[in-house]
Structure 1
Amino acid sequence: MMTLANRVIRQTINDKRSVMMILVAPLLVLTLVYFLLGDSNYVPTVGMNKNTIPAPLVTALKAQNLDIADISSNDAQHAKQYLKDHQDVDAIFTISKSSGMNITMYEPSSKGSKAVSEIQKAMASLNPTAKMKMSYVYGTQDESTFDSLGYVFLGLFSFFLVFIISGMALVRERSGGTLERLLMTPIKRGEVILGYTIGYGVFAIIQAILIVLYSFYVLKLSSVGNMGWILAAMVLLAVTAVSFGAMISVFASSELQVVQMIPFTLIPQVFFSGLIPLDLIPYHLGNLCYIMPVYYGVAAIKGVMVYGDGFLQIWPYLFGLIVYALLLYLLNTRALKKFRKL
């Protein structure tokens, strides 16, 4: 028994990837979570017309942890349009005799929630029983978590599953000798990568279409924009996932090692997919989203589903996915050179 235990310990110590998985990966992920989910120093901005707000309430609001933007009465009356034009303002606070106290936000988010919390603290110091109505430019207060974050799950599930399948399959091809025999033929390395990408990309596209149709027609996920653009973003994201899986497989010698790389390759992308507002992340770490392929796909899907965007609004994200896929293709073609014996 002890002999077997000693052998397992020695094998694990000699496997650098296993050591990294056991010792380094948890610390890396926990550190990332600490920065992303820890206390934020973000100070929300609330727009209001001070002439329509009682002076004691204005004083109480100034004592809270928020910035006040003085807006005109016309802007206050058209709060939703103002928020569309000024996304640096997190909420509009208005008081009228007919509708009472109202808080208008751009969309359900932690930034808007923080603004509401500060307003409620100020109001509680004056009138604890006061009630406020809340509304959004995009989204509703009573929508479920799945409805409000459905765009994130669409992108993540598609990318994660395709990455796992393509990465493991390519490692199996190499370990079985199929890839080496293929490279001994006159076929070019670029054609090999393109062939694998097209082959697995077909199933990735089918999966993306199936996920979208099932989510909208069976799970009743709602979308403001055209479903066709959602499919386009999902397909591009799935094809990028195939290339991403191929790149990771180059550095793995077994299916297990592909799984071991998940904490370093996939988990960080979850946090930069839209679950957390990127401008709330300290030390400008939110800018890391631009090296995450999931960010581009999820941002395009959100634009269509939540804001009703069309091609003119989402094309930068689609272009980002195309550029990412092309760069991965070039990297994979170059990396494949080390497996060519002849």
Structure 2
Amino acid sequence: MIHLAKRVIRQTINDKRSIMMILVAPLLILTLVYFLLGDSGYVPTVGVNTSTVPDPVVTALKGEDVKVTDVSIDDTQAAKDYLNDHEDVDAIFLLSEQSGNELIMHEPDSKAAKAASGIQAAMGSLNPKAELDVTYVFGDADQSTFDSLGYVFLAIFSFFMVFIISGMALVRESSGGTLERLMMTPIKRGEVILGYTAGYGVFAVIQAVLIVIYSVYVLQLQSVGNIGWVLVAMVLLAVTAVSFGAMISIFARSELQVVQLIPFTIIPQVFFSGLIPLDLIPYHLGYLSYIMPIYYGAAAIKAVMVYGEGFTGIWGYLLGLIVYAFILYLLNTQALKRFRKL
């Protein structure tokens, strides 16, 4: 038993990827979580009609951790239209004899919670019994967490499962010598990548369709827009996942090495997929989302399911996935040179 344990220890020490996964990956992920979930210092912007809201209320709001901006709005629908056109304003506070204290926000997320907390504190300092009537432009306060974040999990599950399947299968082709024998034929490197992408892409498309249909019609995940565009985004994300898995598998020598790379390639993407509003991520780390394919897929799905957007609202995200898949295709084609010695 002692000899077996010593052999396992020696093998693990000699495997740099295992050491990285055991010692470095947890520290890296914890550091990332610390930055993403720590105090972002984000100050929400609240719109107030200073001509109708009493000065003591405005003063109390400015005394809290919120930024007050003057807006000439007196009714709920006008506030919703304003928020829909001004993403830099997180909430609008209305005060009238008919509706009382009314707070209108984009959607129930972390930014809305910060704005509501500041306004509630300000009103509480003036009147401890003050209540807020909260209204959202998109979604409502009674919706479940699944309805609020379901679009994120659609993107994550689709990408992760396809990545694992394609990455594992391709690394077996490489370790088994099948890929090297294939590269000895006149076939072009680009054709090899396209062939693998098309082959696994078929199953990726089937999976994407199945996930969307099951989520919407069985689990009753709400979708304001046309789910056809959700399917398009899911299919492009799945195809990108195949290319991503191919890239990882080309540099891995075994299925274990593919798994070892997950903490460095997949888990960081989860944090930037939409679970946390990018504005709340400190040190401008939110910009890292633009180099992560899951972000584009999740953003497109959210735009359709939450905001009811069509092609004009998501074409940029779809283009991002296409460009990402094309770049991966070029990288994979170049990486295949090591299997063909000319």
Q: Does 1:169 align with 2:197?
A: no
1:50: which partner in 2? Answer: 50
Task: Give yes or no for contact 1:75–1:82 (8 Å, CA) kept in 2.
Answer: no
Q: Does 1:193 align with 2:183?
A: no
Cα offset for 1:55? 2.6
Q: 1:147 — aligned with what? A: 147
* Structure 1 segment 99-178 matched on structure 2, within 5 A: 99-178=99-178
What's the secondary structure of 1:47's corresponding residue? Answer: strand
SS at match of 1:125: helix
1:114 is matched by which residue type in structure 2?
K
Change (3 A) 1:318 1:187: same
Contact 2:105 2:137 in 1 (8 A): yes
Correspondence 1:70-89 to 2 at 5 A: 70-74=70-74, 78-89=78-89
Name the residue aligned to 2:91: 91
- CA positional deviation for 1:62: 1.5
Classify the secondary structure of the residue corresponding to 1:274.
coil
Offset, 1:59:
1.9
Query: In the alignment, what sits opposite 2:326?
Result: 326
Q: Which moved more, 1:91-100 or 1:55-64?
A: 55-64
Query: How far apart are the structure 1 equivalents of 2:74 and 2:128?
Result: 29
Look up the match of 1:181.
181
Aligned pair 1:66/2:66, yes or no? yes
Q: Residue 33 of structure 1 corresponds to which residue in structure 2?
A: 33
The one-letter code of the counterpart of 1:222 is: Q
Give the superposition deviation at 1:29.
0.4
How far apart are residue 74 of structure 1 and its match? 4.9
Gaps of 5+ in 2: none
**Is contact 1:150–1:221 with CA below 8 Å preserved after alignment?**
yes
Which residue type is aligned with residue 295 of structure 2? Y
Post-superposition offset of 1:73: 3.8
2:76 and 2:213 map into 1 onto residues whose CA distance is: 40
**Structure-1 separation of matches of 2:73 and 2:240:** 48
What is the TM-score when the length of structure 1 is the normalising length?
0.98
Deviation at 1:77, TM superposition (A): 6.4
Unpaired segments ≥5 residues, structure 1: none
Amino acid at match of 1:271: F
What letter matches 2:154 in structure 1?
A: L
Q: Report the TM-score, using the length of structure 2 for normalisation.
A: 0.98
Comparing 252-261 and 67-76, the one that deviates more? 67-76
Question: Are 1:283 and 2:283 matched, yes or no?
Answer: yes
1:95 match: secondary structure:
strand
Return the alpha-carbon distance in structure 1 between the equivalents of residues 75 and 130 of structure 2.
24
Using a 3 Å threshold, how does the CA distance of structure 1 residues 255 and 127 change in structure 2: closer, same or farther? same
Rounded to whole Å, the distance in 2 between the matches of 1:278 and 1:92 is: 21
Is 1:264 the counterpart of 2:264? The answer is: yes
Q: Distance between the aligned counterparts of 2:194 and 2:59, measured in 1?
A: 65
Identity of aligned residues (%): 75
Secondary structure of the equivalent of 1:307?
coil
Asked whether the 8 Å contact 1:57–1:122 carries over to 2, the reply is yes
Deviations 1:117-146 (A, max 9, x none): 011111111211111110111111100000
Where 1:50 maps in the other structure, the secondary structure is coil
Q: 1:128–1:219: structure 2 CA closer, same or farther, 3 Å change rule? A: same
CA distance in 2, matches of 1:194, 1:86: 43
Amino acid at match of 1:29: I
Q: For 2:174 and 2:71, locate their aligned partners in 1 and report how far apart those are by CA, in whole Å.
A: 64
Cross-structure match for 1:246: 246
Q: CA deviation at 1:280?
A: 1.3
Letter in 2 for 1:14: N
